[in-house]
Amino acid sequence: MEKIELGRYAAAVFKAENAEARPVIYIHTAAEECAEIFAASAKAATLVCVSGIDWNSDMSPWPAPRAFKGGEDFAGGAGEYLRQLENDIIPAVEAKLGFIPAKRGIAGYSLGGLFALWSIYNTELFNLAASASGSLWFDGWIEYIHANAPKIQPERVYISVGDREKNARDLRMRMVEDNSRLTAQLLAAKFELNEGNHFKDAPLRMVWAIDYISGA
């Protein structure tokens, strides 16, 4: 693992063998969790895991009410963060890698999955995308994808959700399975229904997502 300091953010890089010929996939998670994901994966892609994220701001595409009692409202700062990712984080990481990848992907879990899919509607940087148990219940998401199109059609998209996530107490979150299926249809994505609730096998769900979009 190589760690790169990027102001308030940091990137942990887990390099695949023959890395220049393989995808580079950006994930928003802690280095420790990323190490677990990379170790369990087919290692068919280099993983770049960005930490230091303000989840309720950086990963939310527009302002929305909080999801949990006592939590914070969503600030809708994804646009500003995506500009930092495009202009600062990715150039710094790939300068350190020493090459521009032939394929670049973005993947995430929960709000990170929502951000990954929203990103392909707002930048041409990514031709691979994956959302594992993504927060696709987010207010306005379905309306947004009906009204917009990806900047480029990704080569591979993967979307999963747990089969018990629709049983959430929150009425919005109960829409997550239906919204995930619909999103998968619109993006011609591979869709998987995993066993369990939102918190079951989170690292393993990310492994499945990454291995699929990297062509393992």
Q: Residue 70's pLDDT is what?
A: 75
Contact 79, 61 (CB under 8 A): yes
Q: Mean pLDDT over residues 182-200, rounded?
A: 95
Residue 34 pLDDT more than 80? Answer: yes
Q: What is the pLDDT of residues 45-75, one digit of tens each?
A: 999 999 999 999 999 999 999 887 778 999 9
Instruction: Provide the token pair at 215.
Output: 């062509």
Q: Residue 171's pLDDT is what?
A: 85
CATH value at residue 200: 3.40.50.1820
Contact 180, 135 (CB under 8 A): no
Count of structural domains within the chain = 1
What domain range is 157 assigned to?
A: 2-213
Neighbours of 80 (CB within 10 A): 12
- Which residue, 189, 212, 71, 69, is CA-closest to 136? 189
Instruction: Provide the token pair at 4.
Output: 């790169």
